[in-house]
Amino acid sequence: MKINDVILRTVVKGVIFIILTLGVYLFFSGHNAPGGGFIGGLVLGSGLVLLYITYDLETVHKKMPFDFKKVAGLGVLLATGSAIGSIFFDAPFLSQTDTYFTFPILGEKHLTTVTVFEAGVALTVIGTLVTIILSISEDE
């Protein structure tokens, strides 16, 4: 899939960072504001898909040599792992906990184990989205 579209490429170059930043922002803001694993993952995933559509597969793959099936697998592992993990602390399955923690430079931050779970969700969404679109596009 070789698209030679100068305008699209130039625009995407600028926009992609905004999209990816937005995705990351949405992911982290999720606990207290709109956002979260699903939305963050979807935005990041669609940003990546946009990248793949604008440039061809090989070029993107050279820069980002991920197997997105494995990204999705890692996501599932994180999500279920964080769920099972709570058993090892004598807490019921899927218990989450949160705490305030003071970092040297960042100051006091609110940390929760839900973030691990959400990261799993986000990774699964990214991996699955890109896998689906890529495998359809690659089919000849």
Partner 1 sequence: MESLMMILIGILVAVATYLVLSRNMIRIILGTALLSHAVHLLILTVGGLKKGDVPLLSQSEGPFTDALPQALILTAIVISFATTAFLLVLAYRTYKTNGSDDLQELRGMPDE
Partner 2 sequence: MTIDIAIILTPFIMAALIPIFYRRLRKNMIGWVVLIIPVSLFLLLTTYIPRVAKGEVYSHTYEWIPSFNLNFTTYIDGLSLIFSLLITGVGSLVILYSIFYLSVKESLHHFYCYLLLFMGAMLGVVFSDNLMVLYAFWELTSVSSFLLIAFWHHRKASRAGARKSMTITVSGGVAMLVGFLMLYAMSGTFSIREIINNIDVISGHVLFIPALLLVLFGAFTKSAQFPFHIWLPDAMEAPTPVSSYLHSATMVKAGIYLVARFTPIFGGEMVWFWTITGVGLITLFWGSFNAVRQVDLKAILAYSTVSQLGLIMSLLGLGSVAVYLGYSTETVMYTQATFAALFHLINHSTFKGALFMMVGIVDHEIGTRDIRRLGGLMAILPFTFTIAIIGCFSMAGLPPFNGFLSKEMFFTAVLNITELNIFSIHNIGLLIPIVAWVASVFTFVYCLIIVSKTFLGSMKPDIVEKNPHEAPFGMLLPPFILIGLVITIFFFPNLLGEYILKPAMLSVYPTFPSAEEMTPHISAWHRINTELLMTLGVVVLGIILYRFLKYWSKIYRLFPKQWTLNAIYEKVITSSENISESITKRYMSGHLTHYFVYIYVSFVAIVAGTFIALDAFEWNPTNDAVIENYELILVFVMIFAAVAILFAKSRITTVLLNGVLGYSVAFFFVIFRAPDLALTQLVVESVTTALYLICFKFLAELKPERSTKRVKISNGLISVFVGATVTLIGLTVVNYDKFKSISSYFEDSYNLAGGKNIVNTILGDFRAFDTMLEVVVLFIAGLGVFALIKLKAKKGDVDIEN
Could you list the residues that contact partner 2 (CB under 8 A)?
Answer: 26, 30-39, 42-43, 45-46, 49, 53, 69, 72-73, 75-76, 79-80, 83, 87-94, 96, 98, 110, 112, 114, 117-118, 120-121, 124-125, 127-129, 131-133, 135-139
Indicate which of partner 1, partner 2, none lies near residue 24 (CB less than 5 to 8 Å, by partner kind): none
Region near partner 1 per CB under 8 A, out of 31-39, 58-66, 78-86, 87-95:
31-39
Residue 124 has which token pair? 């699964």
User: Which listed residue (1, 33, 64, 91) binds partner 1 by CB under 8 A?
Assistant: 33
Taking the C-alpha atoms of residue 110 and residue 106, their distance in angstroms, rounded to an integer, is 11
| Among the listed residues 42, 72, 53, 64, the one whose alpha carbon sits nearest the alpha carbon of residue 138 | 53
Indicate which of partner 1, partner 2, none lies near residue 46 (CB less than 5 to 8 Å, by partner kind): partner 2
**Continuous H helices in 1-140:** 6-29, 37-54, 57-63, 68-85, 114-138
Residue 100 has which token pair? 């305030």
| Interface characters, 71-100, with partner 1 (x: CB under 8 A) | ------------------------------
Cβ atoms 116, 82 nearer than 8 A: yes
- In this structure, the chain runs to a length of 140
